[in-house]
Amino acid sequence: MIAGRLAGDSAVRNAALVIGASLLLALSAQVAIPLSPVPLTLQPLALLLLGAALGPGRAAAAAALYLVEGATGLPVFAQGRGGMAVLAGPTAGYLFAFPVAAFIAGWVARSRWTRSPLTTIPGMALALATIHLGGWSWLVGAWGLDARQAFIAGVAPFLVNDVVKVMIAALLLPAAEKIVAKFQR
């Protein structure tokens, strides 16, 4: 009886964390600077923090839920967009890479790479590189850009900003972990 209640309570907390994280991803998408063909958003920063704070399973689930929310037409994608057209557009490769990147960020955190901001940075950079690889390969495969064009349009404009996002995420991670830990009590 007690074990059943604890398992149910844990499931409810996990579900709440996943849903809350998907909503934070949606909010971070609304902070967007339109670039062509891909906007600059705060999503990578949010994804890195959520991944590292929630762990691989919950973080990947939150990113997948975010994609489902957007696919159903909810205006959760950048600039208040939603629907299947976004998941076929130029940003789709980045979006589809989100669950994998969130899993990587969570795995890195669970592997104890996050003992200090300095050791957190390589793991978060790996997660971020996964997003860039997804976006770049989508621009090459689905949009017909050559490798160089795809890099210039879909990766290069974000590199400096993403270095800053990784450093911010590494510094904010201890606070994010404390928030998640309080919620799990």
Looking at 1-15, 67-81, 117-131, 157-171, which range is the least confident one?
1-15
On whether the CB atoms of residues 103 and 122 are closer than 8 A, the answer is no
Q: Which residues pair with 32 in a beta bridge?
A: 41
Enumerate domains of the chain plus CATH numbers. Answer: 2-184 (1.10.1760.20)
pTM: 0.88
User: Using 50, 70 and 90 to split pLDDT, how confident is the model at 77?
Assistant: very high
pLDDT for residue 120: 79
Q: Fill in the amino acid letter for 142.
A: A
The alpha carbon torsion through 99, 84, 17, 31 (nearest 10 deg) reads 90
Q: What letters, b where the CB count within 10 A reaches 16 and e where it falls short, cover 138-147?
A: bbbeebebee
Could you read off the pLDDT of 133-171 as tens digits, one per residue? 999 999 999 999 999 999 999 999 999 999 998 888 888
How many Cβ atoms sit within 10 Å of the Cβ of residue 69? 19
pLDDT for residue 1: 37
Higher pLDDT: 181 or 88? It is 88
| Burial (0-12, 13-18, 19+ Cβ within 10 Å), 182 | exposed
- Tell me how far apart the alpha carbons of residues 132 and 40 are, in angstroms, rounded to a whole number: 12
User: Using 50, 70 and 90 to split pLDDT, how confident is the model at 6?
Assistant: very low
Q: Which DSSP symbol is given to 72?
A: T
Looking at 23-37, 79-93, 112-126, which range is the least confident one?
112-126
Could you read off the pLDDT of 86-116 as tens digits, one per residue? 999 999 999 999 999 999 999 988 887 666 7
